[in-house]
């Protein structure tokens, strides 16, 4: 992986009610730390919002146990446009977010009992890794996957445990895996192929389009998690999937970035100028670059976007400052630290002071 890319920071979800979805993510997965909660206008994203400046409300929701976050994003100056079709295996875009779990059966039983749509039982991928798919009320799919990679342990009595952490990867639909491999393997640095299999797979059978014949490649990183938040974000994987009997549709086809559904995959990075040069050399130029003017009111830094060969958006964020507890004026000024040195664990645990408890 390029030394300037540390790992997945978050996956963006466009929604119609940001507070409702934040509540669901808290109760479903324990994503109860709002790293920022900001209302503003994404002035740099006009390319993806029809050339018009729109007001939006965004919450970055994280889990103190570890894993990446979700950026929950809602238009406030226009009515979000719902997708015209159900995203299926074979379409192009982020098909499912992978959520780490310390006990798949317990987590699935808890979620099912609370009314969450769980697709069948725990099954194994081609490498024998167990997982189970589930859907939120807005037709976004998630895959709980077994993990022993945790920043903090599960706490509380057994009956009150959630058995879940944050994001540890995603399932991405592509039109041509061979064309997409240089992007995900070489540019983003997921350089270890766990499997490359073609067929009809039982673990996909509960998903829309899941009985199609597909080629699927799971990619991981040979380098350990790095950067200030590496210990917290943890390990991750990207699985790319191509169907052979389906004309792929882009997840945001005919709609704006920020409309309902998964809208981007975001990485924590440093040395953005070096990364920009690497992307240009690989043929993937920045389509958006905030040029150090990114300010979410509570968090600040620089962000940029590129597109995979099918147009799926990938974001890079180089953070300078993130809030620990806004009311007390506590912030982490990560931009002044060695970007390769992990933050002390106690500093990251301080983010838990801002947890929203139901």
| pLDDT single digits (tens) 236-245 | 999 999 999 8
Backbone angles phi, psi at 23, to 5 degrees: -60, -45
Domains of the chain: residue spans and CATH: 5-354 (3.10.180.10)
- Please state, in angstroms and rounded to a whole number, the distance separating the CA atoms of residues 327 and 330: 8
Give one DSSP letter per residue of 274-330, joined into a string: HHHHHHHHHT---SEE-TT-EE-SS-EEEEEEEE-TT--EEEEEEEEEEEEEGGGTE
Name the residue among 253, 237, 280, 300 with its Cα closest to residue 98: 237
| pLDDT single digits (tens) 177-190 | 999 999 999 999 99
- Please state, in angstroms and rounded to a whole number, the distance separating the CA atoms of residues 350 and 309: 39
| pTM score of the predicted model | 0.94
pLDDT along the chain (358 residues), means of 10: 81 98 98 94 95 97 97 97 96 98 96 93 96 97 97 84 96 98 97 98 96 98 91 97 95 96 96 94 96 61 95 94 60 73 88 88
- Please state, in angstroms and rounded to a whole number, the distance separating the CA atoms of residues 83 and 76: 18
**Structure confidence at residue 325 (pLDDT):** 55
Q: Residue 272: enclosing H or E segment and its boundaries? A: helix 272-282
**Structure confidence at residue 298 (pLDDT):** 59
**Structure confidence at residue 1 (pLDDT):** 42
């Amino acid at each position: 992986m390029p030394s300037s890319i540390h790992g997945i920071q978050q996956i963006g979800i466009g929604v119609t009610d940001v507070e409702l979805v934040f509540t669901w993510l808290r109760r479903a997965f324990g994503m109860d730390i709002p790293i920022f909660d900001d209302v503003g206008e994404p002035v740099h994203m006009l390319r993806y919002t029809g050339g018009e400046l729109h007001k939006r409300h965004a919450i970055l929701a994280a889990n103190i146990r570890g894993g990446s976050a979700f950026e929950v994003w809602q238009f406030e100056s226009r009515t979000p446009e719902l997708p015209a079709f159900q995203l299926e295996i074979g379409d192009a875009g982020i098909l499912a977010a992978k959520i780490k779990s310390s006990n798949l059966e317990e987590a699935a039983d808890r979620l099912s009992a609370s009314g969450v749509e769980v697709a069948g039982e725990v099954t194994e991928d081609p490498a024998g890794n167990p997982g189970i798919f589930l859907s939120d009320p807005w037709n976004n799919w998630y895959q709980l996957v077994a993990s022993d990679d945790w920043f903090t342990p599960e706490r509380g009595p057994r009956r009150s445990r959630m058995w879940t952490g944050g994001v540890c990867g995603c399932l991405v639909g592509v039109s041509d895996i061979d064309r997409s491999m240089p992007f995900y393997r070489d540019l983003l640095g997921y350089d270890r192929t766990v499997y490359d299999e073609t067929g009809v797979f039982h673990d996909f059978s509960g998903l829309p389009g899941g009985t199609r014949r597909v080629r699927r490649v799971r990619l991981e990183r040979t380098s350990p998690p790095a950067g200030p938040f590496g210990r917290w974000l943890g390990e991750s994987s990207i699985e790319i999937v191509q169907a052979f009997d389906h004309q792929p549709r882009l997840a945001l086809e005919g709609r704006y970035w920020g409309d309902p559904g998964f809208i981007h995959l975001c990485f924590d990075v440093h040395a953005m100028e070096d990364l920009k040069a690497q992307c240009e050399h690989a043929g993937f130029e920045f389509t958006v670059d905030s040029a150090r003017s990114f300010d979410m009111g509570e968090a600040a830094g620089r962000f940029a976007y590129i597109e995979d060969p099918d147009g799926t958006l990938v974001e890079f964020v180089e953070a300078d400052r993130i809030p620990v507890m806004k009311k007390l004026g506590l912030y982490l000024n990560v931009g002044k630290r060695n970007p390769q040195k992990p933050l002390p664990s106690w500093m990251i645990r301080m983010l838990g002071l801002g947890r929203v408890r139901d």
